[in-house]
Chain A
C-alpha cells in the first residue's frame, strides 16, 4: 500500500488537532464547574468562578467548532479568539488561584500551537 494512502488527509489532521484542543478545554470546564459548585474551593458561587465556567465553556465550544469549519476568515477569527480567550482564562484562573483550570488551558494552548502548525 502506498504511504500516501495511509496518511490522513489535511481535513482529518486539522480536525484531530482541534479535538486535541477540545479535550483539555473540556477538562478545564469540568474543573471550573467543580470549583463553582464545591463549597470548599474558596471561590464557590462567586462571579469569578462563573466567569471561569463561561470562559472554559466558550473555549471548549470554540475548539469543537474550529475543527468542524473549513479554512476561511471565520475559522481564522475563531482561532485567534481561542488564543486570546485562552490567555485571558489563564489570567482569570491565576487570580482565582485555580491551578487545575490554569494547567488545562495551558495544555489547550499547546494543542492550539499544534493546530496552527498543521492548519492551512
Chain B
C-alpha cells in the first residue's frame, strides 16, 4: 500500500501543480494550503454531512515543543499545517524541529533536530512556526534529497532535509542549511526571520521573511527571494520599496504564505505595510507596491502586475494571507481569478492574469489625519462586492460591557476619534475598526473550485491607536504585543505609539458582538450566501453565548462532500460546518485553540482530518503541542 501511495504521490504532485482540474481531485495535502493555489480544498468525500457526527480521535502526538513563557523560554505560537506527501505526514515545531509521522497511526518515523538554533524572540515576542515546505524535484529521480522537507528559523536559516530519513541535504546552502540573512541589509536591526515555510514554484523556493516593523522606522527594505530548491542559490530578488528609501522606512515584506499559478508562471505576493506602521510622515512619497497584492514572474521575479489595497498605510493593514486562486465558473467559460482577503475585512476579487477587478473597486474618500507631519491618502480602494462580513461601521458601544463597567466604554468612546473605516491614528486616540488584529487574517479563505464558493472566517476587533509625541514617549517604557496592546517606540519618527484593546476594566469588549463570523460568498455573483457567528469566546473557563462568536486565527478547509473543517476559535474546539448553511455539525475539544489550517487527506482508503493545536496569546493564553487526527470509525 505504501508503495502504491508513494507512486501516486510522485505522479499526482506535478499533475496537481499544473492543472486546476486536477486540483479539484486532490486528496493529499502537499502544501501549507493543501495546494499552491491556496484553495484549502480537499476532494475527499468519505466524511459527509450525514456521517461527520461520528468522527472520533484516532491518534494524537505531543511534540514536546511547547512553552507558556513562564520559564526560560518565550511562549510558543504554533500554527503549522501538517503536510501529507511521500507517504508521511510532516510537521514543523516552534523549536524548529521536523517530525515525520505515519499518517494513519501518528507513530513518529524520524525527527530532525537542528544542532544549533537560537530559541530567542529575535523578531517576534514568541517562538513561532507555521510548519514546513515539501519539495519534490520536478525532474524526478530517486536519489537522496530528490524529495526534501524545509523548515525555517527565527534567526533566518532554512534547513533542508531528506524527506525519507531527515538527514540534512548537503548540497543545499552550507551543508544543508541556508543563511537567508546573508541577503539582509548590512547592519540591519533584525534578522530575516523564516517563520512561514517557503512557497514552492517548480524548482524554486520563494522565500519571504518576517521582521519587527513596530519598533523602528528604518528597517530592511521589503524583499522576496527566488531560491534554487536544490542548491539554495539565490536566482532572483524582488524589491517592494525603492532603494532611495533606505534609512527612512523598510519592511513591506511578505511574511505570510504566497500562492502560485504554475500554468501561467506567476507567483502572488501579499505585500505588507511599510514601517513604521502607524506614522507615515517619514515616507510620504508613493510606495506603490506597499500593502498590495503583486504578481511576479516565478522564474525571474519581475513584476507582472500589482494592485495596492491600502494607499499610504498607517494602520498596519498588512496584506496578510496568500490570495486564493480559482477559476470562477461561468456561462461563457471560467474566469481566472484570485481572492485577496484583508485585515480591513474586505475581499478583493481580481483577474489573476491582469490584476483587473472582477467586481468594481471604487476609490472612496476617507477621513483625513490631523497629525502634524502626516499626510494621509484622500481615498482608499473599496471593492463593491463582496460585502464585508464585518460591516462598515463598528456598531456602537456594547451595552452589557458598558453597564458592567458603570459607563466606562461610553466615556472612553467619547474621548476617541472615530469616523468609520480608515480613521487615521491621532494623538488623542482613534478607534480602529477593524484593527490590526481583526478582519480576515493570515488563514485566508477556502474555496470549492467546482462551484466557486468561498468560505472565510473573519474577526470583529476594535483597538485604539494613539500617537504619542517623542518627548512624552521618552518617559514611557516600550513593550507589549499585538495581543495585549502596548507601547512601541517607532524610532526615527516624531511619535511613539500606544495600542490598546478597547476593553472595559473587566476585560469585556466594548464593541458589540459577534466577535467572529464565518461567511460563504458566491464568487460568481459576489453575493453572500450565508453569514454566521463562529466559535465561542471563553474567559476564565466560562463560555459566552454562541451568538457572540469568537475572534479567530487560522483558516478553514472545504471538502467536496460539502463540509468545512476549522479550528481557529478561542474556545479550543475544532468544528465541522455544513457548507450549505454554516450549521455546526460536529465539534471536538482540543488542548488549546487550533490556530492553524487543518490538513485533510486520504490514506489507505480512510479520510483523516488533522489539526496542529498550538494556541496563540493573541486570542488566549493557552498553548499546546498537540497534533491530533480525526477519522470515521473503522467498520
Contact = CB atoms under 8 A, between A and B. Distances in A.
Contacts of B589: 40-42
B541 A47 contact: yes
Interface in A81-96: 92, 95-96
B59 to A, nearest CB: 15
Contacts of B538: 42
Contacts of B571: 42
A39 B60 CA distance: 14
B159 interface: no
Given A42-B572, A42-B573, A96 B542 contact: yes
Contacts of B573: 42
Contacts of A96: 541-543
B591 A97 contact: no
A29 to B, nearest CB: 17
Interface in B526-571: 538, 540-544, 571
> Looking at chain A's contact residues, is the secondary structure mostly helix, strand, loop, or mixed?
helix
Contacts of B541: 43, 46-49, 96
Interface string A38-65: 0111110011110000000000000000
A42 B259 CA distance: 35
Interface string B245-277: 000000000000000000000000000000000
Contact of B542 (A39, A40, A41, A48): A48
A47 B538 CA distance: 12
Contacts of A43: 541
B572 A95 contact: no
B591 A46 contact: no
Interface string B569-586: 001110000000000000
Nearest to A41: B589
> Looking at chain B's contact residues, is the secondary structure mostly helix, strand, loop, or mixed?
loop
Interface residues of B, number: 11
A95 B542 CA distance: 5
A49 B540 CA distance: 8
B586 to A, nearest CB: 15
A49 B589 CA distance: 16
Nearest to B589: A42
A41 B571 CA distance: 11
A8 to B, nearest CB: 42
Nearest to B626: A39
B540 A48 contact: yes
Nearest to A48: B541
Contact of B543 (A47, A49, A97): A97
Nearest to A92: B542
Nearest to A38: B589
Contacts of A92: 542
B593 to A, nearest CB: 11
Interface string B69-106: 00000000000000000000000000000000000000
Nearest to A45: B541
B506 to A, nearest CB: 13
B618 to A, nearest CB: 19
A95 B541 CA distance: 8
B240 to A, nearest CB: 43
B591 A39 contact: yes
A97 B542 CA distance: 8
B591 A40 contact: yes
Contacts of A47: 540-541
Interface string B442-463: 0000000000000000000000
Contacts of A95: 542-544
A69 B541 CA distance: 36
Contacts of B542: 48, 92, 95-96
A97 B536 CA distance: 12
A62 B440 CA distance: 51
A43 B543 CA distance: 9
Residue among A41, A49, A92, A97 with most chain B CB within 10 A: A97
Nearest to B590: A40
A39 B591 CA distance: 7
Contacts of B591: 39-40
A40 B591 CA distance: 6
Interface in B585-607: 589, 591
A53 to B, nearest CB: 11
Residue among B538, B541, B544, B572 with most chain A CB within 10 A: B541
Interface of A: 39-43, 46-49, 92, 95-97
26 contacts: A39-B591, A40-B589, A40-B591, A41-B589, A42-B538, A42-B571, A42-B572, A42-B573, A42-B589, A43-B541, A46-B540, A46-B541, A47-B540, A47-B541, A48-B540, A48-B541, A48-B542, A49-B541, A92-B542, A95-B542, A95-B543, A95-B544, A96-B541, A96-B542, A96-B543, A97-B543
4 A-B pairs with least C-beta separation = A48-B541, A46-B541, A43-B541, A95-B542
Given A42-B571, A47-B540, 14 more contacts: A39-B591, A40-B589, A41-B589, A42-B589, A43-B541, A46-B540, A48-B540, A49-B541, A92-B542, A95-B542, A95-B543, A96-B541, A96-B543, A97-B543
